Amino acid sequence: MRAELSRITARDELELRLAADEDDAGAGLALVRSETAGDPVPVTDVEREGRVVRARLADLALEEGTWDVVSVDRSGSAMPVLTRDSGLSLRRRVDYVRHPRTRDLRAMRDPRGRLRLVSASVTPYAEVEWVEVTPEAVTVSGFLAYAPGRDGAATGEVVARQRGLTGVETAPARLDGDRFACAIPLPPLARAFQPMRRHNEWDLWLRLPEDEPELRLASHADDVVGKKGKVVYTGVDLAGGEADTTVRIRPYYTVRDEFSLLANARNGGAA
């Protein structure tokens, strides 16, 4: 079976558009673990409409890891499903993560053109879409990812925690449906700078008005990993809490692509 298009929809359906000359109308679908030689998992809820195949995966119990998508003919023989689709679509990816879920499914094409699914457990977080740095604040906006849907406007908080230290600063966060926006004031962070540490990191969390777990600010929806070495934001110099100390603060991404602020002494502090 060969597909020109292969994607996972927001409803956890594997949607295939078969090649024009494809003649596998009677073939079924199954998933096989790529890392092990386990038994295939049959996909029984499949709908066909012309060249379009929709396989509903939401109710399948899939372990975390990579799964090969195979077609199974009437004799029971399994063959890899091939695809021309890379599986990369920012618009579809954003739509997918904006729905509540505890399991993330991705369609991908391996170097040999075989269609694979990657299954991973996920928890809600706050996806960062826009960052603006001014002399007084860092403004961030984005949306809630993997989180239950929300209606209407509300007020939450952005919480900045000084990693490994005791500092905590909060500021209001605007919520509108699943979207959020907040501005983190920088002068309080500069005044709280602890010079015995070369780096003062401030990790950012979104606190919702309900009694729900806080959501870590991060950037995952674009599938760009390793942002720490790829994305650089402008720094702002501010007066520190000690005399003659200047503190530079800039946003940055951690090794896990989580969004934080980094403070360094420009003079009068630890080198």
Residue type, 209: P
Tokens, residue 70: 């195979």
- Dist CA 30 CA 25 (whole Å): 15
Average pLDDT, the chain: 92
Q: What is the mean pLDDT of residues 128-142?
A: 98
Give the closest residue to 219 by CA, choosing from 182, 260, 178.
260
Phi, psi for residue 253 in degrees, rounded to 5: -105, 140
Calculate the dihedral angle through the C-alpha atoms of 199, 200, 203, 209, rounding to the nearest 10 degrees.
-170
In the DSSP assignment, the letter for residue 227 is G
Q: What is the mean pLDDT of residues 98-112?
A: 96
Tokens, residue 198: 């070369």
- Which residue has tokens 């024009």? 20
- Dist CA 248 CA 190 (whole Å): 8
- Dist CA 150 CA 58 (whole Å): 22
pLDDT at 165: 94
- Dist CA 23 CA 157 (whole Å): 56
Q: Which CATH architecture has domain 125-267?
A: Sandwich (2.60)
Q: How does pLDDT run across 139-195, given as a tens digit for each residue?
A: 999 999 999 988 899 999 999 999 999 999 999 999 999 999 999 999 999 999 998
Domain(s) labelled CATH 2.60.40 in the chain stretch across: 2-121, 125-267
- Dist CA 129 CA 142 (whole Å): 5
Q: How does pLDDT run across 226-238, given as a tens digit for each residue?
A: 999 899 999 999 9
Tokens, residue 39: 């038994």
What is the CATH code for 2-121?
2.60.40
168 CB-near residues (< 8 Å, 6+ apart): 159, 160, 161, 162
pLDDT of residue 133 exceeding 60, the answer is: yes
In the DSSP assignment, the letter for residue 149 is P
- Dist CA 203 CA 194 (whole Å): 15
- Dist CA 99 CA 88 (whole Å): 18
Q: What is the mean pLDDT of residues 2-22?
A: 92
pLDDT at 25: 61
Distance of CA 269 to the CA centre of its chain: 36
107 CB-near residues (< 8 Å, 6+ apart): 6, 7, 8, 14, 83, 85, 87, 115, 116, 117
Give the closest residue to 223 by CA, choosing from 68, 106, 110.
106
Q: How does pLDDT run across 14-57, given as a tens digit for each residue?
A: 999 998 887 666 689 999 998 776 788 999 999 999 889 999 99
Residue 145: count of CB within 10 angstroms of its CB: 26
Tokens, residue 20: 């024009």
- pLDDT above 90 as % of the chain: 77
The alpha helices in 69-138, defined as continuous H runs, are 90-97
